[in-house]
Structure 1
Amino acid sequence: MKRNTSIGKFFLQLLVCIVLLAALGFFLLWDARSESEKSQKLQQEMIDMKENTPSDQGQTTDENTGGTDQQTQSNSAEPETIETSAQPAVTAEPRAQAAGVACWGDTFYSGDDAGYSYTAALQQVLNENGFSIPVASKTLEAADTLSVMKMAGVSQADLDAYVAAHQEAAGGSAPVTEVSIRDLTEEEMARTELEYLPVLFMGYYGGWNYDPQELIEQQQKVLDTFGTYKDQFVIVGLSPADGSVDTAAYDAALSAAWGEHYISAVSVCGSPVLSVEGQSELASAIYQKLIDLGYLTKA
């Protein structure tokens, strides 16, 4: 009886093994078929992709524009005309010639003798050469540069700073010409020539502490009060007659600062600058400078 039971168990175990082997074989067969189908599908996708990818000699995708070389070749065969609206070049309007000349600073003839001054002589030279423009005389007789700056409208704070610096440099005993500021009338303070060409002849009577660099700074402050033509100017220089400043050093400093804008009065006047003849020569030199710099042009 026991023998029969053992035989039955053996056949049962054998049957189970056979079933398991069959199941394993079926699984392996299914997996292989599945992998084969995947492989075929992948191959087919690669074929489709290759067929849809442009060849090197065909059309190449332009990543930047989204176009193709083939399209470019087609366009080059039939060039496209692109209409553009050409804008005319913008040209700066030439500056109109100033309506007059403004002479600022020192004067050596006034009252009944004003007709001998270089300002009057300059008006005559302009008229003789066909320029019907006025010469405004914003000059002061025997006034230092502090008063000239005040008349131009330079701030009182700037004027006070110069006075304080001059007093300090002199240890409290500065000459009156270096610290005094003249009282000016309403007419003298009026500005009607802001759009004229500036001609500055200031400094002969002092007010700049005998320092040419300070005089240059003060001249610039006066120029800055002008309008459109403040860069079209002439500077005339004449060192004080008392010998407080070396004439050569004075002219060298102003010439270096103002370049072609500068006229040394002693170099253009064959006669003494303060004489009637000298004033006439100075007026002619100023006129010629205005012409040479292109600030005045004949029609």
Structure 2
Amino acid sequence: MINDKGEFGKVSKIRKKKIKKTNILLGFICILLAVLLGFILVTSYKSEQKESRHLSEIADDQQSGIEDYEAVKERAKELEEISSEEAEDTEDTKDTEKTDTADTEDADKTEDTKDKTTAASGIVCWGDDLINGEESNTYSYMTVLQKLLTDNGYNMTVINKTLQGGGTLSMMKMAGVSDETIQSYITKHQQAANGAQLNVTETGIRDLTEEQTTRNDMDCIPVIFMGYYGGWNHDPAELADQQEQILNTFQNKNQFIVVGTRPMDGSVTSEALDQVLSQKWGEHYISLADVTAQPSSTYEAQQAMAEAILQKLQELNYISKN
């Protein structure tokens, strides 16, 4: 029994030693495992840190690339705007050049027109001849005007297109105004009369010769003296309209003179006539009442009218000495 216990004791000691060694070994293994785990953790941490830095660098590069792209895009936009502005400036410059060219051409045309306008072949008197017979050859304003022009060195011929004792309707007919237009005035006069008897000059048109209706004065400067014998229904505005009808038959519509005197029957005063005609014709208008107090058919009035016409021709620069 003792031996068995002795053996058991030995076995127990041996087992304890083995257990102790095993525990030591396991402890050592645990330590190694702990060290290995620490190494792995440290390595993993370093790797993660490295990867994090790499990713951060990539992100920075991408951000930088985006910023560079945005900068390039913004610069491209600026260049596009500059190019657009330069194109607009170029277009404006072209437009300005075109405008300047057009203005120059217009100025040249205006100058050419002015030259053509001032090159009138003569002066033509339209309307009433207030002095009849042989006296007109010496004392009419047309005869006096011709003498004044010649004496003052103007080589201009005065043409007589007046109509003795004729109304304004006959004068328009002689100038070539359409029958339809003339008839419209006659109809208006008849309607205004409402059945009352009218003077023949308000409704009738004189028989005219071929010589009278032939126009050889289209490029002359017209002097319109009409209305003394009627034909305009005692309405100054209508008289102005009829004067314009005759003026429109001329080539140089900007060069003309209108002379106004009250009608022979006294149906319209000089003041009423002048108020309408001066407003209509402006600087082109001459009021005979402002020129002379004599009746228009007198020699004195004819002389005064001729002098006033010459002065107006000079003021408007219609004539020049050669």
TM-score over 0.5 for the pair: yes
Whole-angstrom CA distance in 2 between matches of 1:147 and 1:38 = 108
> What is the CA distance between 1:152 and its match in structure 2?
1.1
> What is the CA distance between 1:239 and its match in structure 2?
1.0
Partner letter of residue 256 of structure 1? Q
Question: 1:99 aligns to what?
Answer: 121
2:291 equivalent to 1:268 = yes
Tell me the TM-score normalised to structure 2 length.
Answer: 0.68
Q: How does 1:42-53 map to 2 (within 5 A)?
A: 42-50=59-67
Question: 1:189 aligns to what?
Answer: 213
Partner letter of residue 202 of structure 1? M
Q: How does 1:1-299 map to 2 (within 5 A)?
A: 41-50=58-67, 61-65=78-82, 90=104, 91=107, 92-93=110-111, 95-96=114-115, 97=118, 98-115=120-137, 116-172=139-195, 173-228=197-252, 230-298=253-321
> What is the CA distance between 1:266 and its match in structure 2?
2.8
**What's the CA shift string for 1:125-155, capped at 9, x where partnerless?**
1111111111111100000000011111111
Larger Rg: 2
Question: Which has the larger displacement, 137-146 or 258-267?
Answer: 258-267
1:109 and 1:246, CA in 2 relative to 1: closer, same or farther beyond 3 A? closer
1:50 and 1:121, CA in 2 relative to 1: closer, same or farther beyond 3 A? same
Matched residues, percent identical?
Answer: 43
> What is the CA distance between 1:214 and its match in structure 2?
0.8
Gaps of 5+ in 1: 1-31, 68-84
**Higher share of residues assigned helix:** 2
1:66 and 1:183, CA in 2 relative to 1: closer, same or farther beyond 3 A? closer
Q: Secondary structure at the match of 1:199?
A: strand
Q: Is the 8 A contact 2:270 2:289 kept in 1?
A: no
Whole-angstrom CA distance in 2 between matches of 1:269 and 1:93 = 38
> What is the CA distance between 1:251 and its match in structure 2?
2.1
Q: Is the 8 A contact 2:295 2:301 kept in 1?
A: yes
1:66 and 1:274, CA in 2 relative to 1: closer, same or farther beyond 3 A? closer
Whole-angstrom CA distance in 2 between matches of 1:290 and 1:54 = 75
> What is the CA distance between 1:117 and its match in structure 2?
1.4
Partner letter of residue 107 of structure 1? D
Question: Which has the larger displacement, 93-102 or 145-154?
Answer: 93-102
Q: Secondary structure at the match of 1:93?
A: helix
Whole-angstrom CA distance in 1 between matches of 2:235 and 2:82 = 70
Give the aligned CA root-mean-square deviation in angstroms.
3.1
> What is the CA distance between 1:269 and its match in structure 2?
2.5
Gaps of 5+ in 2: 1-47, 85-96
Whole-angstrom CA distance in 2 between matches of 1:48 and 1:246 = 95
Whole-angstrom CA distance in 2 between matches of 1:215 and 1:298 = 34
Q: Secondary structure at the match of 2:228?
A: coil
Q: Is the 8 A contact 1:177 1:206 kept in 2?
A: yes
Whole-angstrom CA distance in 2 between matches of 1:273 and 1:177 = 20
